[in-house]
Amino acid sequence: MIAGRRVHFGFPAAARRRCARIAAPLTLLALAACDTPTSMLAGAGRDAVLVERLFWIMLSAAALIWVLVNGIAFYAARTEANPERERVARLFVVWCGMIVPTVVLVALLVGGMLLLRDMRGPRPDFQVTIDGEQYWWRVGYDTPAGRVVTANEIRLPAGRTVGLALASTGVIHSFWAPALGGKMDLIPGRTNRMTLTPLEPGRWGGNCAEFCGTAHAQMRFEVEVMPAPDFDRWLAAEAASARVASDAGLAVFTSAGCGACHAVRGTGNAGTTGPDLTHLASRRTMAAGILPLDRDTLAAWIRDPAALKPGALMPAFPDLKDDAMQPLLDFLTGLK
């Protein structure tokens, strides 16, 4: 510091002004994020509402305590030491340092556990199984017409409670759709259960929330909450066999060996290792929510999946020439 200049505690005035200029829009941005499909403050599910209430209670309490503690510290720093008030000080430490925090923490703990009980409370109306794969989500619905398997897009009816059975085969993943509810790990060798009660129709986002490998950050998913009648119609359609839009494309799909890993129900292709593609074209995204599902992206993906998603386990098909690729794309984009 140059001698003679006023010494600031902290940053010089110019820097503070610059910070303020940047911070103001950043704060707005942060607040705007509260409205995104992946915000835990969106309140689109019963559990998210419960979590949000707890969040606001804790935030207000924390703010209050912060103001009180800093106020007292400020006051204490400006007060002369006074031996006559030592008894008061000791009482203050006992109450505010031991008794009050204990009561507050116990209350929070009890409140949290009651909340956990509430979140597990409702009996699910139906079951969805979710398997964490590397690096995508296998989603299964048990319907009277048989098991319906899809990937990465989870459709749920608004107002009904769904029980999620979460499992993983390779490594630990974590399922979190913040707008709808809490988070739950998927642990190899066991099935974890949670319930969700979506309230608001709309498209809500989620992500793997436990580092699982190279493409962890690209392991997203989408939850589409639909009015219950729409959901029932969708599930019935999803249970149907595939619609083959291009026989030539199906022939390419089969002979190139796609069916070794992918199932397209009703075509004899019944692989289980990769995502079920029976109604691929009814999904809006691919590669676990990171890419739009369209012809060009599909073609690029088939030629070299790892170029679009590092660590993707699907092997590349750079040897599929255009005369095979075009019918194949017709077939895939026709899988409504």
Which of 91, 260 has the CB closer to other proteins? 260
Give one DSSP letter per residue of 285-329, joined into a string.
EETTTTEE-SHHHHHHHHH-HHHHSTT--SPP-TT--HHHHHHHH
Which of 49, 306 has the CB closer to other proteins? 306
- Strands laid side by side in the 202-208 sheet: 153-157, 220-226, 202-208, 173-176, 183-186
Q: What is the nearest approach in angstroms of other proteins to the Cβ of residue 271?
A: 5
Q: What is the nearest approach in angstroms of other proteins to the Cβ of residue 253?
A: 10
Q: What is the nearest approach in angstroms of other proteins to the Cβ of residue 149?
A: 10
| Amino acid of residue 307 | A
| Amino acid of residue 41 | L
| Residue closest to 175 by CA, chosen among 272, 57, 278, 289 | 289
Report d(CA 54, CA 118) in Å as an integer: 13
The alpha carbon dihedral of 305, 309, 310, 311 has a sign of: negative
Q: What is the nearest approach in angstroms of other proteins to the Cβ of residue 296?
A: 20
Q: What is the nearest approach in angstroms of other proteins to the Cβ of residue 191?
A: 14
Instruction: Tell how far CA 223 is from the center of its chain.
Output: 9
Q: What is the nearest approach in angstroms of other proteins to the Cβ of residue 317?
A: 6
Residues near other proteins (CB under 8 A): 133-134, 138, 169-170, 251, 254-261, 269-273, 313-319
Which of 167, 199 has the CB closer to other proteins? 167
Q: What is the nearest approach in angstroms of other proteins to the Cβ of residue 130?
A: 14
Which of 171, 199 has the CB closer to other proteins? 171
Beta-ladder partners of 194: 164
Report d(CA 179, CA 42) in Å as an integer: 5
Instruction: Tell how far CA 90 is from the center of its chain.
Output: 48
Q: What is the nearest approach in angstroms of other proteins to the Cβ of residue 335?
A: 18
Which of 127, 169 has the CB closer to other proteins? 169
Which of 251, 291 has the CB closer to other proteins? 251
Which of 38, 254 has the CB closer to other proteins? 254
Q: What is the nearest approach in angstroms of other proteins to the Cβ of residue 244?
A: 17
Which of 36, 255 has the CB closer to other proteins? 255
Question: How deeply is 262 buried, as exposed, middle or buried, from its count of CB atoms within 10 A (0-12, 13-18, 19+)?
Answer: buried
**Run of H or E including 127:** strand 126-132
Pairing verdict, β 153-157 and 146-151: unpaired
Instruction: Tell how far CA 269 is from the center of its chain.
Output: 31
Give residue for tokens 């790990």. 185
Which of 102, 255 has the CB closer to other proteins? 255
